[in-house]
Amino acid sequence: MLRFGVTGRLEQRDFMTLPQTRIHRLVWPTMATALVVSWSSGFVGIRYASENADVMLVLFWRTLMSGLILVPFALLIGPRVNARALVQQMVFGVATMFLYLGGFALAIGQRVPTGLVALISDLVPLAIAALSQPVLGHRLTGRQWIGTALGVTGVLIVSLDSLSLGTAPAWAYLLTVASMMVLALATVVQKRMGTINMPIHQSLCIQCLTAAVLFAACAGWNGGLMPPLDARFGFGIAWLVLFSTFFCYGTYYASLRLYTASQVSSVIYLSPPVTMLWGWSMFGEPLSKAMLAGLAVTLSGVWFISSGSAASKDFQLSQHHVG
């Protein structure tokens, strides 16, 4: 999903994995399908809701409604949030929601194909690999260099083909890359600084409400905060809040309790092709053989990096961000 910002440590979830001896064999295919569809639904939901509304207005109502729904749970369930933890989550909210999510949404609003946006968002593990050397002092392995090269090559193939077939300006494509780099940098900085452990519903609530304030300023500048009084906008916001946020996160963490983090993460990489098919079928977005070829090259690069045992722990931090 443009992916929704939450910080945490996914690698720790493997300790929560439950024994699989009594899990029915159809549970994983069902959960995997639900996860891929809901993960990609955020990109499609933003495209749908912004058909007749400013994209900043869409993001304002999405983050506001999500945050308000979570407020009573954040106050009543979980540890007390101190000032340091609050400020830290607010800062991550600015980086991983306002800048990351806002950048991707703006690109979608400029009609960059949603499948390409989803594909670039899946490059976060590659960007973390590139940033880990200067920020964390981690030297890249040959496997990481090869994976990064494959990922960049695939995105260039898809992007050049999209530029020739689509109508979005060139700066909108660059914006998607910049937004992805913001999330990668925030993840690496988080790893260097260390984070205060906080339940997911509390951190998501703080980050949503922080981003809502900033999106409100942008939407107000563009024309106001009143939503269009039509069914399309209302359905789009309900879709983004209930399905793309709460259902997606619920499925995600339920999967992590039943299966390993690497197994769950590998399924998420299927979201770009699903998003491409949604964009093609719902909005008539371009879909060519070159784009599919570039998609395959990029996903092979991401898999090449994320499948490495040493890389998995570093990159699974980035998998807390859905569209």
Determine the pLDDT at residue 285: 79
Q: CB of 31 within 8 A of CB of 250? A: no
Which among 78, 88, 60 is positioned nearest to 212, based on CA atoms?
60
Above 60 in pLDDT, residue 21?
no
- In whole angstroms, give the CA distance from residue 246 to residue 253: 11
Place of tokens 């977005």: 285
55-64 per-position pLDDT tens digit:
899 999 999 9
| 3-class secondary structure, 224 | coil
- In whole angstroms, give the CA distance from residue 240 to residue 3: 12
How many residues in total does the chain contain? 323
Above 70 in pLDDT, residue 183?
yes
pLDDT band for position 241 (50/70/90)?
very high
**232 token code pair:** 């399309």
Give the other-Cβ count within 10 Å of 272's Cβ. 26
- In whole angstroms, give the CA distance from residue 226 to residue 65: 14
Give the other-Cβ count within 10 Å of 110's Cβ. 17
* DSSP assigned state of 50: T
- Give the predicted TM-score (pTM) of the model: 0.76
Determine the pLDDT at residue 84: 84
Please state the φ and ψ torsions of residue 29, each to the nearest 5 degrees.
-60, -35
What percentage of the chain carries pLDDT values higher than 70?
75
Above 90 in pLDDT, residue 215?
yes
User: Which amino acid appears at position 80 of this protein?
Assistant: R
CA distances from 230 to 48, 63, 225 (A): 13, 19, 15
Place of tokens 């399309």: 232
More confident of the two residues 76 and 253: 76
More confident of the two residues 84 and 137: 84
Determine the pLDDT at residue 212: 94
| Residues with Cβ within 8 Å of residue 164, at least 6 apart in sequence | none
**220 token code pair:** 């107000």
295-320 per-position pLDDT tens digit:
788 777 767 665 554 444 444 444 45
